[in-house]
Each structure stands twice: as structure tokens, then as C-alpha cells.
Structure 1
Amino acid sequence: MSVLNIVLIEPQIPQNTGNIARTCAATGARLHLVGPLGFEITDAKLKRAGLDYWRLLDITTYESTPEFFSRNPRGEFYYFTTKARRTYTDIAYPDDAYLVFGREDAGLPEELLRANPDRCVRLPMIAGARSLNLSNTVAVAAYETLRQWGFPALQNHGKLTKYDWDAVPL
């Protein structure tokens, strides 16, 4: 089964990471937190943003970027950055893809981007906009990848609480 990996390198804002954790929990994506972090995992703001989804989360932490790459040597990495020349929809994401995101205030290191130009992607924005919120960017990227994969293992229909959908004409 395909597994989506969301990688946050040095995240600084606990609320963003909490929101991303909730997205990962709801989609079955694995969350990789690469330090140093700008907060403690026990931070109340982080836990509040993730609500009661922590029990559904597959999370791994790393002390540093070199440790992350050494523990995941076979990954297919895609680097999300405002500096990329390609858009995120230009990519056909493979099974077990790693979507990598940088710090909210600085993004990913340019050395990493320069070494992987064909794996750098961006979300289009109007001129003059610096960037989208990190948690929004992760959600867009995750759902595009999952859409390409046909939303494996995700529930693709909802249920009304007071009515039966089958009784409602389309």
C-alpha cells in the first residue's frame, strides 16, 4: 500500500505543526519532524491544534537533517519551495513519496534546493505574495498526491446524521 511521508525540517510554529499533524492523521500520512524544533512536542499549542487526532498519527522525530536523510536513504524526495521553477502539479508522485517542507521563516536550505533542481516544486501565487501558510501548503500537496493515487484507504463518501443520502435525488 502507498504511504505518503510529510517531512517538516526545523518547524518553528507549534500551531502549524499541530494542524499538519491533524492533516497527516486524517489522511494516513506519516509525519517526520526534523530538528531542531522551535517548540517542544509537549507544547499545549501543538496538541490543541492537533485536537484528538494524535492517537491516529504515525510520527518520527530526528535530531537533525543529516540524521533524517541517513535514516531514509531510499526516499523519493520532493522539496516544496517558493524558489522552484516547476509547480507541484507537474510531478507524478511515486508510492512512498516524501514531501519535504522547510521552516516557516526561512524555507529549505538553498544548498539542498540547488542539489535537487528537478525535485523542487512550488504552489503558484500572485507576484508579491511571499508564501502560503505552511499548514495550508502541506494540505494542498498531500491531497494532490493522494488524488493522483486514487485516495487509497481513504473514505470517499460522507454520511448525513439525520437523513439517508440514498433517499435524496441527485
Structure 2
Amino acid sequence: MRLALFQPDIAPNLGAAIRLTACLGIGLDVIEPCGFPLSDKTLKRASLDYGDKCDWQRHDSFAAFAASAERRNSRIVLIETEGSTRLTDFVFEPSDILMLGRETEGTPPDVIAACHTCVRIPMAAGLRSLNVVTAGAIALTEAMRQTGRWAALD
């Protein structure tokens, strides 16, 4: 199981995702371009002391990410506010990649179409969205519960 950030706009969100995935023992994919310079200095500032504890990979584009050998046997499960399936109704698999859309613009239609499915986290009526890393944490919690991955921690 992995978490993927599609063209993240906000460096502190990348830092929070690095910390989240490091603590949960989950890999992270960063799909560029980012809305900030993805430099060693930016990463160090954003990830604090978790950067070297995270199994993360950067990809030049969505096409490069989707075509990578490691992804060929994985489903890309997009977590998006407009998802057709409720998070708790979706059946996760251990090899799934949970992908989060861009903070400011969401996910373009061609990328949505390339994903296996689009899942939404139910929210109170009239509210727009969760913070992207908060959404990732909620989705990972459910996916890890369903696949028994919590047993591997502690």
C-alpha cells in the first residue's frame, strides 16, 4: 500500500504526508510538478526529521508514475470530494495506491479517468473539503483496517 500526492501545491502538506507515511510504514509517491520548488532544503524544512524515515519516490509526471514498473500491479484509488463511492463502501487491497488530488485545483479529468476508481470521504452537508493530508490519513486508516495492516505496527 502507498499514498500518492498528485502535484502538491503546499510544501507543509508534503511534510505532513512524509511524517504520516513514515509513521504508518507506508510508501509515498510525489507526482510532479509541485507548486513549490522540490529541493533538499524545502524537503528538510517541510518534513522535519522524518524525511529519511520515509520510503518516498518522486515522479516527473502522472504518466511516468502510472507507467512505473512498481505500479503495474496496483490499483490507483483516487480520494476526491466528487468520488462516486463512499470510503467505507470500497473494498481496499494491500497493493492499492491511494492518491490525493492537488490542493488548489483538484484532479484533472484525464487523471481521474486513468484511476481505477474515485472514492469520497462523507462529510457534513454544505462543507467543501478536508485538508488533503487529513483526507489521506482518514483513507489510509480505513484501507489499513480492511487489509490488516495495523497488525504490522507496534
> What is the TM-score with the length of structure 2 in the denominator?
0.89
**CA offset at residue 39 of structure 1?**
1.6
Larger radius of gyration: 1
Aligned length: 151
**Aligned partner (choices 133, 136, 139) of residue 134 of structure 2:** 136
Deviation per residue, 1:139-163 (Å, 9 max, x gap): 11111111122214211xxxxxxxx
Residue 13 of structure 1 pairs with residue 10 of structure 2: yes
Is the contact between residue 26 and residue 55 of structure 2 (CA under 8 Å) also seen in structure 1?
yes
- Equivalent residue, structure 1, for 2:61: 64
**CA offset at residue 84 of structure 1?**
1.2
> What is the TM-score with the length of structure 1 in the denominator?
0.81
The 3-state SS of whatever aligns with 1:104 is: coil
Gapped regions of structure 1 (runs ≥ 5): 156-170
**CA offset at residue 7 of structure 1?**
0.7
**Aligned partner (choices 34, 37, 42) of residue 39 of structure 2:** 42
- Equivalent residue, structure 1, for 2:118: 120
Give the stretch that moved more between structures: 107-116 or 81-90.
107-116
**CA offset at residue 40 of structure 1?**
2.5
Gapped regions of structure 2 (runs ≥ 5): none
- Cα distance in 2 between the residues matched to 1:84 and 1:5: 19
- Equivalent residue, structure 2, for 1:164: none
The 3-state SS of whatever aligns with 2:136 is: helix
Q: 1:115 to 1:9 in 2, by over 3 A?
A: closer
Q: 1:131 to 1:43 in 2, by over 3 A?
A: farther
Is the contact between residue 73 and residue 95 of structure 2 (CA under 8 Å) also seen in structure 1?
no
**CA offset at residue 101 of structure 1?**
1.0
Q: CA RMSD in A?
A: 1.8
The 3-state SS of whatever aligns with 1:52 is: coil
- Cα distance in 2 between the residues matched to 1:143 and 1:48: 26
Question: Identical aligned pairs, as a percentage?
Answer: 34
- Cα distance in 1 between the residues matched to 2:130 and 2:40: 24
- Cα distance in 1 between the residues matched to 2:5 and 2:128: 19
Residue 148 of structure 1 pairs with residue 141 of structure 2: no
